[in-house]
Structure 1
Amino acid sequence: MAPMYVLVEELDKDHTSVAIRLRAVRTYNVWYSRGRDQIKSRECVFHDEAGSYIHLHIPGKSVSPKNDFVEGNVYCIKKILVVAHWYCYKTCEGEYMMKVFSETLVKPYKGCDFPRYMYRLKPFEVLNTLDANILVDVIGRVVEIYSPLEKMINGRPSRLIDFVIEDLKGNQVKCTVWDDHVEKVKPFFKSDLLDPVVVLIQMGRIKLVEKSGEVKICSSYDATKLLFNQNTLEFVEFRNSLSMQQQTPLKSITSNSTSSYGTTSGVESSTKMQITTLSEIFSKRDIGDFLVPCKIIGIESDPNDWYYDSCPKPNCNKKLELNSGMYDCGKCGGRFVKGTLRYKLKIRVVDVNGTAPLLLWDRDVLELLCLKADELKVTTKVPKDIRNLKGRGLFFKISVKSETFDNLDNAVPVLQVKHFPEMFETYCPGLIQHNDDEFSSKLQLTQDDSDTNEGFFSDYPTESPIAATPGKQDEAGNETEAVKRSLLDEFSSIQPSMKKKEVVVKMENEKE
């Protein structure tokens, strides 16, 4: 007599001898460490003949070739444990999942009559109504890709890349993927592809931004899978529907990230952040965090002062002091043969009414150059990567303190940099078209420059950071508050923290 197979909905935690027939949808290993030298567990997701999904957990000690489930294949599984689903982010709905134990039997199913439900695609417009703890599948066309970034998460270096996908109705969702998933996206960054880039994100995590209510998709460790430009039915149907619509080109943006990585801990400014001009800040002597749209007109610091040796210990980053051939850290007390090279770059910027020196730290320069400090080749001439910063129009989030006004040539620390090319002309009309010689600056650092958040000091103390520049007057005052709020929302996703005597970029505490 043929065995009787139960369905997922018929599984009972009190029965261990039942048999079930399932198609493997997703199989991935969970490792004990990032070195991936020992398997902690193997996780599998299946669907039954009715299309219901179920998760299977295989402990590391039970992992063997017999349960090396191939995605797409069908298997008959007998004698399993039905246990409560214990993972925070679940791969499928349901209270229970399955677990392999010593008596579990597995054999392939060779029949061709088993249905195929590999993906559970969700429309973009319903994502905000779904349970954020259950991973979802979405498909869309990539319309924007942002430059890859590196961050320290819980003392470990991590990578991420952001991109935006669009569905057939024109709805867009921002996505962030981490670590190994970055390599899947990078080939499309700054590519010259003419055909649309279609991506299916399998088992992505829904993230709801509390303040704006915006929905984003993030990768969830090894569970998430990215599929690009496949020939399966889902991709064919999407591309056929897409060909009848007008398509916007894929944009690669070498800029700060567009997605939210969580809120960093620290002391937030009590003064409400606002979009303003350099002259308004310094004439009114306002204190707080501000957004200022400016154009970079030059690098003030000498090439020898573009970097500093920082503590290599995670989450320290303090400048090291050379002492008897070794580097000492005054913050954590460590002593090192060498430190980690990080950027510390003083730039000169202008807006329609004034000019000021700003201080960019490693994170911001890295995002602008996409090149680590130890990878930048410095010669007697200014490298092309640095020269390319000149003339760029960017939105800077700066932190102005009372001591900033003690010396008006103090470089103002930059908390964050954003690239809004479509909005820059609104706030700084005609600035990009101005002659660079009109705002040229050749200031150099003094020899006794100190490494504090008060910045670099110029050899020309008589030059004010709010010295008026010829040209058009500020026309940004006529812009609507709605436009300003949209820009402020972009910056609110990341809030770097500040200490009283030095700028410290706090990295997120929880990996997305």
Structure 2
Amino acid sequence: MGMYSLASELSTFKNRSAMKVRVIHTYLVKEKKGSSDIKSQELVLHDLEGTVIHASIPAKIVPKFIHSFVEGKVYGVKNFYVVSNWHTYKTSMHEYMLQFNHKTIFKELRSENFPWYMYRLRSFDSLKGNSELNEKELIDIIGRVVEVYGPQEKNIGGHNARLIDFVLEDAHGKKLTYTFWDEHVSKIEHLYEAPSKDPMVRSKSAHLMMDSLRDIGYQTPMRSIASLSSFSFTNTMDEFSSKSIELITINEIYDNDKYGDFWVAARISGIVNPTDWFYSSCRKPGCNKKLKISEGVNKCFKCLKIWEDGILRYKITLRVVDMKGNASFLLWDRECLELIGIPAAELYERSNKTNEPLQQITYLVGKTLLFQITAKKDHTSHRNTPFPVLRINNDPQVLKEHCSQLLKLQDNECNSDMPISLGDDDFLEGFLSDEAESPIAILPPVAVGDATEGPVKRCLLDQFSST
């Protein structure tokens, strides 16, 4: 295994780690039902020990990875964020998940001697009447279909849904009823309307399933899983003494569903999308709303004014960590101006209007600050939603008083440029090449086919997205 990190060794402070993983499943999540817009690409992975971990690829960098990961193959992945597992319906019960970014690089590796843990099968007995069963965990089961009911049309939550029930039987004669939803219904219908005409194929499939039913434990080893706008341009020291700042941790906000404005001491561990750092705003004094293209013109939908062009303002999404938790923070124009030192329009002109990450933006990574954020219900129920930052405090004396532990962490403690394990020469070459390290540019939209096709199927994954 060399110096690859295992899932059990991951830390939110390290974003330059490397992992060697096998892809169990990959799928796309759309913005909404029936939409062609991609919200994210999701991966289910397992490491050498069989520990399963989830990975998410944000929409803006999906084109870099969309055809890169094949189910069943082994890859080396490096430079990713380790974040809390925010998904409501979880493919992994691991505390953390991976979030890819513009610096994430990968390489297909040789898979000899790397184990296969493609399924985590549960027995029917472990599901029936189990009061401790986590209804948010997505699991694998195997059985023989003995009954199929006709498709039904139902209105669920104000939306029309199509579903079909079927009954599975295991090797011991135990039965359970399961339901397929929406687009999965047509796949089930097609499966039974057009079975394989090749008797050898049917026979091989039947034998494979029966072998699995006879000895589930041997075929699929079970592994345990370890577990707004800105209000102030001036530094907060102008208004508050250090004694007036009462800090709260990120986990306290999440775990206790705290709502309101809070001060948090945190370290910036990364920029979610460093090429998306500004927006064009309305020119009306006091209105900072983003202009949108409507009928070929720039329009503000708040004050209903049309402008030839807008005012460039900062808007940067950060990944931050404190000593125990992690979150996304949204930094607006005035706080960015305080940290970067020049207006967004001037920085844009200086950068020659490039689409590559700018040093002035990436320079924020590693800084420890006090952030005043606002927390609402959406932030605790949908943990990938960034907290808006109201104020910042970067006074050295205040930081020393409130962030001593974070300040003591040196960069070499937070990250590791770990060597790649010996023998993976191609992987090493891929990580060290200029091409692999170059930042991702703005890519054109990619036409995407059916994202659910593949050797591993999980019903409801597309129905239940990260929210």
Q: Same fold (TM over 0.5)?
A: no
In terms of fraction of residues, the more strand-rich structure is 1
Higher RCO structure (Cα 8 Å, ≥6 apart):
2
TM-score, normalised by the number of residues in structure 1: 0.38
TM-score, normalised by the number of residues in structure 2: 0.41
In terms of fraction of residues, the more helix-rich structure is 2
